[in-house]
Amino acid sequence: MRAMLMRQPGEVADRPLRMEEVAVPTPRPGEILVGIRACAICRTDLHVVEGELPPLRTPLVPGHQAVGRVVARGRDATRFREGDRVGIAWLRHTCGACLYCATDRENLCERAEFTGWHADGGFAEYAVVDEEYAYSIPSVFSDVEAAPLLCAGIIGYRALTLAAVRPGGRLGMYGFGSSAHVTIQIARARNLEVYVCTREPSHRQLARTLGAAWVGDLREPMPHRTEGTILFAPAGDLVPVALRNLARGGTLALAGIYMTPVPRLDYEADLFYERGIRSVTANTRADGAALLAEAARAGVRLTTTEFPLEVANQALELLKVGALTGTGVLLTEDGFRV
């Protein structure tokens, strides 16, 4: 099969991913083999490829928002049938026995493993996954539309939950990339008033189109304090900026897996009056199932740019400089034929 392989991390401008022919993986007991049609790109992929997340294995096939069809099943894999359409997401294994797993917090499992970091992911024509960590895809979404939901959507959904804005309340967002453009649609379906601060003019226009009540640059003061805010941009220096636009008792949810250093905070100006900060760590499978169901009910529509699999480096480079509106999605040859 064809796969975009990373033999060692490097700047995407130096093309660290190479198209290579590798063996089709064999599903082990409980696993399914998926013929990939579409795999969305994510800033986490960029962090893996450029080494901001330390490499856990090489060579590696990145990618963790993959959609395709089951083509084979390992022994005892009975949840799906050949031909079923499924999604492969970031979370791919937890121990199932620790305190976190036993209390519906499997995202915090210390032995958790992740697709495209611990194991080969979706920048390839085939991938394997434990069937218990695969998702059924609602029929209302095409392969291209469904792919960004599997991380951008799920993480935004968890961040929205942690931001804890009451129905009809105000939600702030910093950064407006792949995750935010899904999350705003869920928020608007819940009748939240959304304020967006983002750098790129095209992202500001998309935010307006998707129903933002106010849109400004990253450091502009919002017209009102928000009850909850999500920081999507991996920029630690925006943490105090966001906190100072937060109402008393509000929560700032940090949605990234990586962030530049956070500057010193002033207790009275930034944190007093029970303002809180919550980091978002991966997701549970329940988060994923809930997001897919709510996105289908809310009529979420994805803004995407499609690329052939072999230009994954270039697509990640566009993501890095903020030149993508919505989500970039890599397509295999099967994806292009559908």
Q: What is the pLDDT of residues 95-114, one digit of tens each?
A: 999 999 999 999 999 999 99
SS3 category, 106: helix
Q: Is 37 helix (H, G, I), strand (E, B) or coil?
A: strand
Residues 6+ apart with CB under 8 A from 102: none
Q: How far is CA 303 from CA 52, 117, 183, 208, 332, in A?
A: 27, 26, 13, 14, 19
Pick the closest to residue 114 from 151, 72, 145 (CA basis).
Answer: 151
User: Which tokens belong to 333?
Assistant: 């040859």
Residue stretches of the chain with pLDDT short of 50: none
Tokens representing 181 are 């453009």
Kindly give, in sequence order, each residue whose CB lies less than 8 Å from that of residue 332, ignoring residues fewer than 6 positions away: 2, 36, 37, 38, 124, 125, 309
- Return the sign of the alpha-carbon dihedral for residues 140, 144, 147, 148: negative
Give the burial string for 241-270 (b: 16+ CB within 10 Å, else e).
bbbebbbeebbbbbbbbebeeeeeeeeeeb
Within a 13 Å sphere around the CA of 257, how many CA atoms are in the beta-carbon half?
23
Domains (range + CATH), the chain: 2-148+302-337 (3.90.180.10), 153-279 (3.40.50.720)
| Residue 126: C-alpha distances to residues 4, 32, 123, 163 (Å) | 11, 10, 9, 36
Q: What is the pLDDT of residue 308?
A: 97
Give the pLDDT score at 337. 65
Phi, psi dihedral angles at 87 (to 5 degrees): -120, 145
What pLDDT score does 326 carry?
Answer: 86
CA distance 296 to 201: 28
Structure token pair of residue 185: 């649609």
Assess contact for 150 and 143: CB atoms under 8 A: no
Query: Which phi and psi angles does 108 have, rounded to 5°?
Result: -100, 5
